[in-house]
Each structure stands twice: as structure tokens, then as C-alpha cells.
Chains A and B, each alone.
Chain A
Amino acid sequence: MTDGQQKSFDFSKVEIGGILPQRVPFVMVSRLVSFSYPRTVTEFDVAGENAFIQDGKLLREGLIENVAQTCAARIGFINKYILHKPVNIGYVCAVNDFRISRSPRIGETLVTTIDVTSEFGTILVVSAEVCSDTGIIAEGSMTIALDESRTVEVPEAVVKIADNIISPLGTTTEANYRAVLEGRSALRHYPATRELPEAFFASLIDESSLSEGYASFGIGNGYTRFERRIILSVAKALAQTDLDPASDRVLFVISSTKGNVELLEDPGEPIENERLGVSALKIASFFGNKVTPLVVSNACISGLCAQIAAMRELTAGNFDAAVVTGSDVQSRFIISGFQSFKALSDEACRPFDADRKGLNLGEAAATMIFKRKEPSEGDWCLLRGAIRNDANHISGPSRTGEGSFRALRAALGDFPSDELALVSVHGTSTAYNDEMESIALDRAGLVNVPVNSLKGYYGHTMGAAGILESILSMASIDDGKVLGTRGYSRCGVSCPVDMSPVPRKTDKKAFVKLLSGFGGCNAAALFRKGGER
């Protein structure tokens, strides 16, 4: 971080709990005001619930702790934002000439400035000044030793703070969850046309059903339908938070396999409008965000890859929050391609069923907003995720479920499978995919865990799938349920799994999301409510 970056850095976005090892009521610093290598300034709102309060006043110990924690905030800031390391524990070795003119009262705000007099190795010597409205309250010098062998595990996790699903079944997560719980599906027959000479079954969004939503968020005509759907979904998710999407501490992660590919139909369309990077910049700038968005295009696993990338950026301390959003729009390009593969079913798909005939394509936009914070009991946390390749074939799944098995093994780690409410599989309903997944689940020791696929409600929503299916898994567990697999009746895979066409009860608080895609890629992620482990 250069001096210029330090000056322009928005310190109001630094959560003090993320850079200090102390916890309430021992936290004696409320905010980091500014940081430079020689000088750090913090503020502290003296409150009744703080430790070291007696008769409405902060004791001498509290003032010394306030100076020590200002030093800790300096070290924590350097570690987290500059070195991207965990926060270390420090010890006060000496306090010299510490003079206190009066004890601050509850309700006062103290401004504490430390100037580094010398720093050698892990020893830091500072001169400190604590001021209030009335002037200097305390001053002196302090020596701090940093214990680099002991890093503090700041109890933070990657927490989902908001979500949204835009689909033919509704434009909120709640509406979508209710529809799926009731067994409704938007899959329907589309007859052959001159442009698409073969009929197909799909779940498509009626664009006019979204016009009210577009108008209410001021989403104008300068966007393609792919971009508008994503913007609407993100806007609806953001509306549930107090997050400032324009902050440079917020990253947009966008998942799509084909974005605006339908624009290729019009030879007069400028080619840059087809590029995903251009769409991503338009989406981020709609929200005033100037950070270069991450655009994941990893075939059908993109929605899970986007979440994993966001989790890694947040745990690395590169950002405080991430808006993860994904969508694909079905067009002649994609439908004709899947038809040429003979991969589409001419009826509503039947995941894992003996009579499955292939997949259905679907449209949705889905968004999850993640924040790095200390999780509360009801918070959903993304604990781990892994991406693995089959190293076998670019369009056929591995016969041994190699990549999915390895992704599951890495995402689960030592997490006990009996704590899983469900595994939300890809379950596209193609003969090979479902068979491959059953083998991977068997190898990963997950055959006794309830399994479901949501493709019978939505079809394969491609870039949205990983996000949409994770959101609905969370909503169902919040409701004490495992959603049913619409279309499933008789097991049609060689390693039988615990699947049901109707919803079941659960009291468990964790699940795994699994996806696989062309290019031999597979992804698995482990989510848990409450976030320990």
C-alpha cells in the first residue's frame, strides 16, 4: 500500500473486530481513523458495558489498554490489509511516563494518536496521546512486543447476508422456495419454429413479467436482457442490506457460461457487446462499483466457482463483501447446440430416475451477497469449496466420478457426513451425468445422506444453477426441510442414493452443493448454518 493509497483509503469501512484480537467487553477501540507507518489514530466511545469502568469512569488500566489496542489496530491493519496475514497477539512490555490528567466518563469519545518512535524486529516503541473534547487526557510511551509465533484466529467466516432468485417461478427467494416446496415447475413444451425446427421443453422467463421490477430499480434500455436480469437480481438482494455497493471493499463476481451470445444472431451488433467482460463492467458500474469484477466462465459449475472465488477473496482480506451473481439466457445458439448433442428431454426431466431421457434448459438470475464477519447463530457460512477436473474427457463425465469424488472429498474434509441435511446434486437427468454423480457420492461415503436435484423445477439454469440451488438449499434447511426431486420415482443409477420426490424433514444444519460441467470440471462446496468449524 503506497502513501497515496493510505491517504485515499476509506478507513470507515474497516471493521475493528477484524483487526483486533480482543473481544467485547475488552475492546477499548471503536474505530480506526487513519493509518500511516509513523502515525495511527483511533477513536473510542467510552460505554458502560466496557471492562475497566468504575463509578461511570474509565480506569487508568482502561486508558493503557486503549493505547495498547491502538498499537494492536496498527499491527492488525498492516497484517490484514497490507501483508494479508492473520492478526498476531502482542504484549505490553513497558509503559513509561504515563500521565493521566483526568478519567474520561461514559459517553465521551477519546481520540488516541500513536507515533512510532522506533521499531526493531517485533518490538514497537510508541509515544501516545489520548484526547477528548476538553484536550489531552493522557500521554506517555509504550513498548509492545509482537508474538509472531501466535496468530489470532479472528472468528470470522464468509457469511451470506442476502440473496435473490429471479425465475419463472418468482422474483424473490421466498416466492421461489414456496413454489418449489409446493412442487410447481415452470418447465413447459415449446413447439418447433422455423428458427428452431425441433420442439423442446424448457423453463423460460417471460421478459414482460420483469418490466415492473426493471422500472422500479431504474434499469433502463441500455442493457441486454442478460444484463438486466442480473442487475434486477443484485438490486433486490442489495435492498436487504445496508451494504454500499460502490465501495472499493466490495467485489462483484459474475458467473455465466454464454452471457450475451444471442447477440451473434445480429451481424450488425458490435462484437464487444457479446463479451462477458463488457457486460460485467456495465453491471458493476450500474451500482457505482469501480473494482474490476471477476467473471467466472467455467461451464455449468460457474455458479459454484464464483462463490468459491468470492470466499477466497474475502478470507484473503482483499475485500470485505462480495456480490456473487449469475445468469444465462436461453437462445437459439444454446438450444440448438444441446439438441445437436441429443442431450435434451422431450418432457419434464427426471433426475436419477430409471426413465430419464435427458435435460431441460432453464433461465434464472440468482444472487448471493457474502460478507466476512463473525457469524451469528442463524447465519449461513460458506465453509469450504473445491474444484477438480476429471482429466478424462471434455464432454463426457468420468466413469469413476473422478473429479466430483475428489471435489467432494476436498470440500468435506473431516466434516462428519451424518451432520449433513442433504447433498444438492447437479442431477441434470442425462444418463451419464446422474450415473457419474451416484458413483462419486458412493465413493465419497455419502449414499446415506438425503440427496436432491432441483432441475425438475427450473431445468438447467447454467450460470445461475450453482447460486440458485445453494440459495434454495439454505431456505429449505431454514424451514427444516429437504426439498423433493420433482420427476424422480424409480432409482435409475448404479449406486442407489437416498432421494425422494417429495419434501422431507430435517433438523440438520449443513449441506453440500455439487456440480459438474463440460471441460471435465467439477465443484463441491460445504455450507453450514452457524459457521463453527
Chain B
Amino acid sequence: MKKVLETRLSFGAEGAEKLVELYRTHVGNYPKFFKMDPLCRLGFVASEMLLNQENPRKYDCEDRAIVLFNRSASLADDSAYQKTIRDPEDYYPSPAVFVYTLPNIVTGEIAIRNKYYGESSFYVMEERDDELMMRTAALAFRDPAITSVLAGWVECPDPEHYEADLFILEK
């Protein structure tokens, strides 16, 4: 098993704007990006920058898994949704916000973009532990159909702070 490609992104402030900039520079032409919540935007842009390095870029396959990790799950979007229901006098629960209140949606966005039919999994850990992340991502290879894993850390506790560290593992 080896790590073949890596991408790191980390924004301590004004991350939302910087992600849009990166989207325009490195991706573009995917309007769905603007519907995404902060965690999905982060995972989407980081995965695009990672996969742009792949030659040829893998597309439409069942042998690649997506296994991502973070600490705060979908907290950034959970807080946004909570605002829509906080006040019973001003109650407007939004399905467009609610749908992103699951951390694994980001794995779905990456699968849709790349037509990856393989495994998609999301794990939460309180302290980032790279060794544990590698061990857990490598579990996907126990599925004989899987030959590579897009794995790594995608953390977004609020709409300004972002940290992504994605890589490709090959069997």
C-alpha cells in the first residue's frame, strides 16, 4: 500500500472566499458547487486539486473508495440549520440546508462528480490521528473490488475555518 498523491489546504480566516477563488482557478463550470455547504465545498475543491494531478484522471469506476475523516462532522451546516428553527416565531426549516447536516454528504458529492461507484465512508475522530486514519482508510482494501482509496482529513467547524489533507492510497 502506498500514498501516491497529496493535496493540503488550510485557511484560518476568510476561508469561504478563498475556497471560491480556488474553485474558479482550479475547477469552474460546476454550478452545483455554489449549492454546497462549507464542508462539501472544502472536500470538493480539495479532491479536485488532488485528482487534477492524476494522469489519466480516474472516472466512472467501482474500484476506488472514498474514505474521509474529521472532528466536527457537519457542525458548520448543523449550526446553520439550527438557526432556521431556533425561534418558533421565525421558524423556516430549510430542506436545502438540512440535506447537508450529514458529514458523509461530501463523499457523495465527490462520488457524483467522478462517477465513483465504490465504497464511500465517513469517520469522526476527536483528535486527528494520521496513523489511525491510514489504518482505517486501508480497511477499504479488505473489499476485493477496491484498488485505490481517496482518503484524508476534511475539517470545517465553521464557515471560515478549513483544513483538508487528502491523498490517494494504492493497494
Contacts and interface: CB of A to CB of B under 8 A. Distances in A.
Interface of A: 194-195, 197, 257-259, 261, 264-265, 271, 274-278, 280-281, 292, 294-299, 305, 309, 312-313, 315-316, 318, 332-333, 336-337, 339-341, 386-395, 402-403, 406, 410, 517-521
B108 A275 contact: no
Contacts of A264: 78-79, 82
A289 B140 CA distance: 25
B85 A519 contact: no
B64 to A, nearest CB: 10
A520 B123 contact: no
13 contacts: A276-B73, A277-B124, A297-B124, A316-B142, A332-B85, A333-B81, A339-B93, A389-B117, A390-B111, A391-B115, A391-B117, A517-B104, A519-B107
Given A295-B124, A388-B119, A341 B139 contact: no
A337 B91 CA distance: 12
Contact of A403 (B73, B75, B117): B117
Given A197-B88, A297-B104, A391-B111, A261 B78 contact: yes
Q: Is the contact region of chain A dominated by helix, strand, or loop, or is it mixed?
A: mixed
Contacts of A292: 125, 127, 129, 132
Contacts of B112: 391-394, 520
A38 B12 CA distance: 51
B148 to A, nearest CB: 15
Most chain B beta-carbon neighbours within 10 Å: one of A274, A313, A391, A393: A391
B121 to A, nearest CB: 6
A336 to B, nearest CB: 4
A391 B104 CA distance: 13
A313 to B, nearest CB: 7
Contacts of B135: 318
B17 interface: no
A387 B125 contact: no
B93 A518 contact: no
Which bucket holds chain B's interface residue count?
Answer: 35 or more
Contacts of B101: 258, 261, 333, 337
A389 B111 contact: yes
The 6 closest A-B pairs by CB, nearest first: A277-B126, A519-B108, A337-B98, A340-B93, A389-B111, A387-B119
A520 B85 contact: no
Contacts of A339: 93
A394 B108 CA distance: 6
A297 B122 contact: yes
Contacts of A341: 95, 98-99
A298 B93 contact: no
Given A271-B75, A309-B136, A521-B107, A333 B85 contact: yes
B53 interface: no
Nearest to B32: A394
Interface in B154-169: 157
Nearest to B60: A391
Contacts of A271: 75, 157
Interface string B99-117: 1011111111101101111
